[in-house]
Amino acid sequence: MDIEALRMEIARRHGVLLDEKDPIFVFVTLHELVISDLLARIERSAEAFEQRGAALMAQELSVVKGTAETMIAGTAKVLANTVREASEKHHAALIAAVAKQAEGIATAALQADRGRSTAVLAAAVSVAGALLAIGGVALVVLLR
């Protein structure tokens, strides 16, 4: 900190010329040292907080990914079984039932995990993939 600049600014603002050895400058130096130490502590705390936050985000992402994979696998199994059973009955009834079930699954997935957009997106993708698979299975059944 430039003591001379401080002296001139105090003189300009207040009309008081302080001696460069005035005890107030001891306080200014002490204040500067304390502030510097506090800033260093804050920076270290912020870095530690960032690291913990990044670790928590990575952990949460792993959990969300696992949830999405489980939802996709479960949805695919349920839809595949439903298609196999219903395809032997009636084609129109099959399409209506699967569409209704897929819609219900998508709605349930959205309600179950609204706060986790990654899982919701994965569920929507699984439903779309399942519908494509259903269309393929239905086409195979029709071509038999």
pLDDT tens by residue, 12-33: 999 999 999 999 999 999 999 9
Q: How far apart, in whole angstroms, are the C-alpha atoms of residue 34 and residue 96?
A: 73
The answer to whether the Cα torsion of 92, 130, 67, 50 is positive or negative is negative
Cα–Cα nearest to 95, from 123, 125, 131, 124: 131
Count other Cβ atoms within 10 Å, centred on residue 83: 23
pLDDT of residue 107: 74
Q: How far apart, in whole angstroms, are the C-alpha atoms of residue 51 and residue 53?
A: 5
Query: What is the SS3 assignment for 41?
Result: helix
pLDDT of residue 13: 97
Given a contact cutoff of 8 angstroms between Cβ atoms, the answer to whether 105 and 111 are in contact is no
pLDDT of residue 118: 65
Count other Cβ atoms within 10 Å, centred on residue 94: 20
Listed as ranges, residues in the chain with pLDDT below 70 are 86-95, 98, 102, 106, 108-124, 139-140, 144
Count other Cβ atoms within 10 Å, centred on residue 137: 18
pLDDT of residue 133: 78
Place of tokens 């219903």: 86
Name every residue whose Cβ is closer than 8 Å to that of residue 110 and which is 6 or more positions away in sequence: 120, 123
Cα–Cα nearest to 97, from 78, 120, 122: 78
